[in-house]
Structure 1
Amino acid sequence: MCTGLPRTACPLRLFALCILLSHAAAYFGLTGREPLVFLPGPFANEPPNGKAHLKQCEQMTLTRRQKRLCRREPGLAETLRESVRLSLLECRYQFRNERWNCSMDGRGSLLKRGFKETAFLLAVSSAALSHALAKACSSGRMERCTCDDSPGLQHREAWQWGVCGDNLKYSTKFLKKFLGQKRVSKDLRAQIDAHNINVGIRAVKSGLKTTCKCHGVSGSCAVRTCWKQLSPFQDTGHLLKYRYDTAVRVHSVTNSATGETELASPRRHSNTGPRLRPTELVFLEESPSFCRPSRYSPGTAGRPCSKDTSCSSLCCGRGYNTALHLTTLSCHCQVRWCCHVECQTCLREEEVYTCKKH
């Protein structure tokens, strides 16, 4: 269950964030190159069906209703794992040069607050799940969905020609069912969470493009097949990082016409003023500095930085240490007849900069 989360927000809080709380130690310190493993090894090489599939569903930190959906859909467990991998790697990549670098390290307190960082986590997690579900449909890893429903394209032809479109329509519909998104309560935090989740889903949708392939003699375009294809997830990550950088602080107001509680930003001076855009990330309170260890962050001490670009900001005015490291690399490579390359091993001295503790 989503333990430790606000009761009003729990039905809306994405499963991946619950997994972040339970498995933070599994990804803390990643550079973005390592694979992520959230389930025990014995199930990693088993097909996502039968007992292995059921075990994977049970071991994930999901609500009871989500576990039921997971058990009913062979292939869903692997898709959930893939979405967590996508969201974590993308978060670490986008914040690699920031004071908060997406590290949790047992600091689930951040998820209980209305910071910009929490908004990004919700958005990138919902985006990753939407993306992974659409890709799982088009790749045949989900039994209850297949290619997108592009007009004039039969599924059998799509598989034969290798043009099976990413089924974002099914993905979005299933995602709302999986997250249990119903009518949002009057609770301000629940409204903010729901808004940021939808920002992530919209970010994926904005990257859906139409791709076409020609069929004909000598490459002619006598017959053309078109299908829907999602952009690489890193494009979505870049967009969400921009949304994070331009996030809007909000408060609640009562609509005089309907009596409903709504989100509003300081730029909205009256009930008839401009409303929040559905693509804007929103937050409730200012973030801490993340410079020193706290319940929200391990701080920046010891973080590697770039002398010319990031040390000044990352080290928070404490300065940085300089060390010389020897690295090995291949050098003086020559091609030998035939098809063989011989290289020497050279040593290179590099300066490495890390933030000071004091």
Structure 2
Amino acid sequence: TRESAFVHAIASAGVAFAVTRSCAEGTSTICGCDSHHKGPRSAMNRHNNEAGRTTILDHMHLKCKCHGLSGSCEVKTCWWAQPDFRAIGDYLKDKYDSASEMVVEKHRESRGWVETLRAKYALFKPPTERDLVYYENSPNFCEPNPETGSFGTRDRTCNVTSHGIDGCDLLCCGRGHNTRTERRKEKCHCIFHWCCYVSCQECARVYDVHTCK
């Protein structure tokens, strides 16, 4: 599914991110490539794993630091740095939204049965190695389903003003939402005293909380 494609990609990116960082810091002693461990993994999972790793490579950027007296840049040291992992997650979320539906085809070669991927719809642009792919439709996450691990969306807090996935219209799957008021105590009217502490009053504020029916 789209969801499992995203999970494979983000997990693969996370492993690549952690290994790259530990090798750069010198905390890992084994930093070469090992081609011996190629487990029996499906073409679909291999593609999404590679998409996750490629994301790290595509978002590397050059960072530089100046050396010299009084900040003069007599000597400059530059290195390739990894992106913030949050940027990787946001990028792969976009790829999740635009994932391509595929058909898995098996054919026999001298080394045995081999799986290949073909785009289900020829009218659409075929996916690149940087795109996520899937072949099963996502289950209905609106209702609880122990087989898929879905908890449903009943009683989920939603944003009544949002038109996105967190909005009450989408998140509540058309069932509508309930609204209740909550009274919360918060710190307010804070004053900094020299030197050096902050004193605050406690204020009670009323919030509207919206939850899915």
TM range (shorter): 0.7 to 0.9
**3-state DSSP class of the match of 2:179?**
strand
1:225 to 53, 68, 77: 77
Which residue in the other structure is 1:286 paired with?
A: 137
- Cα distance 1:261–1:335, how it changes in 2: closer, same or farther (>3 A)? closer
Q: Residue 333 in 1 paired to residue 190 in 2?
A: yes
Bigger fraction of residues in strand:
2
Aligned to 1:300: 153
Q: Post-superposition, which runs of at least 4 consecutive aligned residues in structure 1 deviate over 4 A? A: none
Indicate how the Cα distance of structure 1 residues 242 and 124 shifts in structure 2: closer, same or farther if over 3 A, else same.
same
Match of 2:117 among 240, 255, 263: 263
In the alignment, is residue 198 of structure 1 matched against residue 55 of structure 2? no
Aligned to 1:348: 205
Deviation at 1:266, TM superposition (A): 3.0
Q: Give the whole-Å Cα distance in 1 for the aligned partners of 2:84 and 2:170.
A: 30
Matched, 1:312 2:162: no
Partners of 2:154 and 2:195 in 1: CA distance:
51
Structure 1: runs of 5+ lacking an equivalent: 1-114, 146-169
Please give the residue correspondences for 1:43-62 in structure 2 after superposition, counting only pairs within 5 Å: none
Which residue of 2 is the match for residue 237 of structure 1? 89
Question: Normalising to structure 1: TM-score of the pair?
Answer: 0.52
Aligned mates of 2:182, 2:115 — CA distance in 1 = 58
Taking the aligned partners of 1:261 and 1:340, their CA distance within structure 2 comes to 65
Shift of residue 279, structure 1, vs aligned partner? 0.7
Distance 1:196 1:245, change over 3 A: same
Contact residue 104 and residue 135 of structure 2 kept, 8 A: no
**Percent identity at matched positions?**
35
Aligned partner (choices 130, 135, 157) of residue 16 of structure 2? 130
Residue 216 of structure 1, CA deviation: 1.6
- The CA distance in 1 between the partners of 2:121 and 2:10, in whole Å, is 26
Q: In structure 2, the residue corresponding to 1:333 is in which secondary structure?
A: strand
Secondary structure, counterpart of 2:175 in structure 1? coil
Larger Rg: 2
CA distance in 1, matches of 2:105, 2:194: 76
Check conservation: 2:55, 2:88, Cα contact below 8 A. yes
Checking the alignment, whether the CA contact within 8 Å between 2:168 and 2:177 is kept in structure 1 is yes
Counterpart code for 1:343? C
Structure 1 residue 143: Cα displacement = 2.8
Contact 2:181–2:209 under 8 Å retained in 1 = yes
Does the Cα contact within 8 Å between 1:300 and 1:315 map onto a contact in 2?
yes
- Matched positions, count: 203
Q: Over residues 6-28 of structure 1, what are the superposed CA-to-partner deviations in whole Å (9 max), with x where a residue is unaligned?
A: xxxxxxxxxxxxxxxxxxxxxxx
More moved, 211-220 vs 306-315? 211-220
Q: Structure 2 length normalisation: TM-score?
A: 0.86
Cα separation, partners in 2 of 1:143 and 1:261, compared to 1, 3 Å: closer
SS in structure 1 of the partner of residue 144 of structure 2: coil
What amino acid does structure 2 have at the position aligned with 1:278? E
- Which one of 157, 167, 180 corresponds to residue 323 of structure 1? 180
Q: Greater helix percent: which structure? A: 1
Q: CA deviation at 1:241?
A: 0.3
1:136 Cα shift? 1.6
User: Per-residue deviation at 1:263?
Assistant: 1.0
* Structure 1 residue 339 displacement after superposition: 2.1
1:264–1:276 CA contact under 8 A, matched in 2: no
CA 1:244–1:347: 2 relative to 1, 3 Å = same
Distance 1:268 1:315 in 2: 34
In the superposition, relative to structure 1, how do residues 139 and 327 fare at CA in structure 2: closer, same or farther (>3 Å)? farther
Task: Note the C-alpha offset of 1:261.
Answer: 4.8
**Cα–Cα, structure 1 residues 353 and 260, in superposed 2: closer, same or farther, change >3 Å?**
same
